[in-house]
Chains A and B, each alone.
Chain A
């Protein structure tokens, strides 16, 4: 089945630094990748949608200059949290949608998530 690899699984960084999270589709081409954020005891909040080779589409309230998304290839998308602050601490999850499978659950696979802690 489709596998999405997300790295790192956890990261601790100092306030003011930037952190990059990678999301890779291992055995399929991901036409679209999604980035979610999950707060404790809350739902998965969609942050942005990225299509290969084009700019990401950000959800309302998400700062595009703070959360930089790059989808340079059909198998890799990156989320960079710039000038991180403690309030950015959260669990970030990516998801990838495969070409031709958009209407099937098979076309929507989650990565394992990244726990970001900003100190």
Chain B
């Protein structure tokens, strides 16, 4: 039973356009959400996070939106750059519990 779902395994975007990566969760007890970026043959690196008390968090080109009623969050990258091409993992956590990860979405940004 997947508690964190990333239903799009891949996404292709033109450079300069917006990339939107989606994530759904089922456990209403999750109170902290994270996005990680992973290049091939490397470990994931933290990108951005959001607490359940907020609905938006912005950091430069990256913005995460949280819709608690829909149990949905999304990561927006504007403008997208070729260096953003990677696998993006959504993760959700309850308190200090270990995060639960989605399956990841592979983003390809074309020049």
Whether A112 touches B42, Cβ cut-off 8 Å, given contacts A34-B98, A41-B9, A43-B101, is: yes
A60 CB, nearest partner CB in chain B, Å: 12
- Which of chain B's residues 75-97 have a Cβ closer than 8 Å to chain A? 89, 95-96
Q: With the chains together, A102 CA to B98 CA distance in Å?
A: 9
Whether A113 touches B42, Cβ cut-off 8 Å, given contacts A41-B9, A42-B103, A43-B89, is: yes
CB-based contact A105/B46 at 8 Å = yes
Judge if A84 is at the interface, Cβ distance under 8 Å. no
Judge if A56 is at the interface, Cβ distance under 8 Å. no
Task: Determine the interface band of chain B, counting residues with CB < 8 A from chain A.
Answer: 20 to 34
Q: With the chains together, A102 CA to B45 CA distance in Å?
A: 17
Judge if B41 is at the interface, Cβ distance under 8 Å. yes
A97 CB, nearest partner CB in chain B, Å: 8
Q: With the chains together, A40 CA to B34 CA distance in Å?
A: 22
CB-based contact B44/A110 at 8 Å = yes
Q: With the chains together, A91 CA to B43 CA distance in Å?
A: 9
Proximity bits, A93-117, B CB within 8 Å = 1, else 0: 1110000001101001111110100
CB-based contact B34/A44 at 8 Å = no
Q: Which of B32, B95, B98, B103 contacts A46 (CB 8 A)?
A: B98
CB-based contact B89/A105 at 8 Å = no
Q: With the chains together, A41 CA to B106 CA distance in Å?
A: 9
Q: With the chains together, A15 CA to B98 CA distance in Å?
A: 33
Which residues of A are found within 8 Å of B32, using beta-carbon distances? 103, 105
CB-based contact B43/A43 at 8 Å = no
CB-based contact B96/A103 at 8 Å = yes
Q: Which of B45, B95, B101 contacts A44 (CB 8 A)?
A: B101
CB-based contact B102/A43 at 8 Å = yes
CB-based contact A105/B49 at 8 Å = yes
Extra contacts besides A93-B44, A103-B95 (4): CB < 8 Å = A43-B101, A43-B103, A103-B32, A105-B32
11 contacts between A and B (CB under 8 A): A43-B102, A43-B103, A44-B101, A91-B41, A95-B43, A103-B32, A105-B46, A110-B43, A112-B41, A112-B43, A115-B41
